[in-house]
Structure 1
Amino acid sequence: MALRPDLAIIADAVPAGTRVLDVGCGDGTLIAALRDKGVDARGLEIDPANVTAAIARGQSVVQGDANHDLGEYPAGAFDYAILSQTLQTTERPDRVIEELLRIAPHAFVSFPNFAHWRIRLALLWNGRMPVTRLLPVAWYETPNIHHLTVSDFRELLRERGIVVERAWYLSGDRPTSAAAASWRAEHAIFLISRG
């Protein structure tokens, strides 16, 4: 099964032999790819149907909510924590990031960039929240409760003293440069740490 582009980047970047917690792991697609390369990957997922699907495939996934259940994991329990396309759906993204970096020294965080030029243009032209390929539902159906941008995320990290080890940006399904990423990138993937 082909991985979503942000998941493929994360899967390639996670070293073999490490311990990983995929928070908001969905049906476990990334966990399967990580296990294939020798990673001890586990998951936390809120949707019971996704948990059932992952467990049926032999994956170690528990049902839980990133907003409330990350505190149950001991500090330093993993080498990497992953939060892919979930940050914008959390109640307090700042607290979730702090928890990720408490349970693992490194965290991958990916999110849609709500400052992408197509979103800006749709708001300017139509005066309405856009529906796009990557944000395919109307504003009243979306699980997104925090509409962040690349610049917003970088500023949060700076305020908290969190280091960006590496960043990747996607336009469509292809990598794009960091130049004007807040304008050009539809998705952003960050590898962060306490430094």
Structure 2
Amino acid sequence: MSDLRPDLAVIAANVAQGARVLDVGCGDGALMAVLRDRLGVDARGLEIDPENVSSAVARGLSVIQGNAEADLVDYPDDSFDYAILSQTLQTTMRPDLVLEQLLRIGRQAFVSFPNFAHWRVRLSLLWGGRMPVTRLLPVAWYETPNIHHVTIDDFRALLKERGITVEGAWFLNGDKATTAAAANFRAEHAVFLLQR
């Protein structure tokens, strides 16, 4: 699954064969195609960008155009084995409400996001006094779709506050896995598998 972005590869490696999946913010459908082709998953997608929707549909995927914050309420409870939100949580107006919807729709939810407490981000702010532009956060602050700068510790606190169980957690530094030790400082990205 090396052809996938590292967080998507983690998710793909942990989805059960033949599962029913909703990929929210599915982009061009890269993850969905792998899940369908390699694991026989019944994958559905929701994507806001019309060009990405066209790309996904051209791959033969079942993707509709929609907004997670407005359209997830239309899905019935427990419609999917997994609801997936990869690199999208920080772009939503109310990530807490989107998270609640994911866990209502899916029996489990995968959530991945960039960790804004990574040491390079901290160093950029400390020494340069400016929001960082890095390989994984490649655009300037005024162009970024990120409106909430979430950290691993912030996310864990939200989960605790809402009584959400962590079934699995993976931390990435660049394209490689790193340990959970000091993940809030050392990991550039996090992937969580959640359950009510």
What is the aligned counterpart of 2:65 among 60, 63, 88? 63
Counterpart residue identity of residue 141, structure 2: W
Moved over 2 A (4+): none
d(CA) in 2 for partners of 1:121 and 1:56?
Answer: 42
Measured after TM superposition, the shift of residue 56 of structure 1 is: 1.1
Structure 1 CA distance, aligned partners of 2:168 and 2:57? Answer: 32
Structure-to-structure mapping, 1:35-46, within 5 angstroms: 35-36=36-37, 37-46=39-48
Where does residue 103 of structure 1 map in the other structure?
105
Q: CA RMSD in A?
A: 0.7
Tell me how far 1:17 sits from its aligned partner: 1.1
2-side partners of 1:56 and 1:126: how far apart?
Answer: 44
Structure 2 length-normalised TM? 0.98
**Match runs of 1:133-148 below 5 Å:** 133-148=135-150
Give ranges in structure 2 of 5+ residues lacking alignment: none
With normalisation by structure 1, the TM-score equals 0.99
SS in 2 for 1:132: coil
The CA distance in 2 between the partners of 1:120 and 1:181, in whole Å, is 14
Q: CA deviation at 1:127?
A: 0.4
Q: Between Structure 1 and Structure 2, how many residues are aligned?
A: 194
Query: What's the CA shift string for 1:114-169, capped at 9, x where partnerless?
Result: 00000000000000000000000000000000000000000000000000000000
Counterparts of 1:174 and 1:48, CA distance in 2: 31
Q: Secondary structure at the match of 2:102?
A: helix
Equivalent in the alignment of 1:88: 90
Aligned-residue sequence identity (percent) comes to 73
SS for the counterpart of 2:80 is coil
